[in-house]
Amino acid sequence: MTETAAPLIEPPPAAPTPNCIMRAWTTHESELRRWLRARVREPADADDLMQELFIKALRQGQRFCDIHNARAWLFEVARNMLADSLRVARDTVELPDNLVSEADEPPAVDLLTACLPRVLSELSEADRDVLTRCDLEGMPQAEYAAQHGLSLSAAKSRIQRARERLRARLAEACQVRFDADGHVIDFVGRSSCGG
């Protein structure tokens, strides 16, 4: 028994470009190009839009022939493409050299450090001690717990409560505002806070 090779299946030939597209393109191409060039900075941008427009017309295939007013369709699509391209490439405004950027201003939390010594002095000795040692001096909480005869859990609770009291006192004394994540975003500087 001999096997015969299955015939190769060839893909269908590409559909020819309908004559109506070529007729419309030939008739309106120069007018479209002038219209686009009058609205973009670079002639190359107008040429790019023309190529995209031609591809959109080709994708319509035979449906393009059913369009009642080919010129109106081409201009409408060109206008929409232009609007899309301008939306993407909005012009930027040149900023003056003397404009202060946010990077030039220290974050609010850094400015608030002047208020911290006074507010710390108003806290209890225990709160001041735990915050100074663990938060300001960087002592590990486990070491603080061992030095003060506390369990690690008790030391963490003490630190957390002291932080809450400090936060409340800062909010009251310096009118500190916090964002949803608890970060300082603003405060009212006072002479008593050094702000």
- Looking at 61-133, list the stretches that DSSP marks H as alpha helix, in order from N- to C-terminal side: 70-88, 108-111, 116-121, 125-130
In order of 4, 6, 7, 8, the CA distances from 1 in angstroms are 10, 15, 18, 21
Question: One-letter amino acid identity for 88?
Answer: V
Q: If you write DSSP's letter for every residue of 119-156 in order, what string do you get?
A: HHHTS-HHHHHHIIIIIIS---HHHHHHHTT--HHHHH
Q: What pLDDT digit, counting tens, does each position of 35-80 carry?
A: 999 998 889 989 999 999 999 999 988 898 888 899 999 999 999 9
Q: What pLDDT digit, counting tens, does each position of 103-155 carry?
A: 555 665 566 677 778 888 889 999 999 999 998 889 999 999 999 999 999 99
Q: Are 119 and 173 in contact (CB under 8 A)?
A: yes
Sorting pLDDT into bands at 50, 70 and 90, what band is 86?
confident
* pLDDT in the model for residue 166: 87
Q: What pLDDT digit, counting tens, does each position of 164-186 carry?
A: 998 888 778 777 777 787 777 77
Q: Is the predicted pLDDT of residue 33 greater than 80, yes or no? A: yes
Rounded mean pLDDT of 20-34? 92
**3 state DSSP class of 186:** strand
Q: What is the C-alpha end-to-end distance of the chain, expressed in Å?
A: 99
Query: What is the distance of C-alpha 80 from the center of its chain?
Result: 25
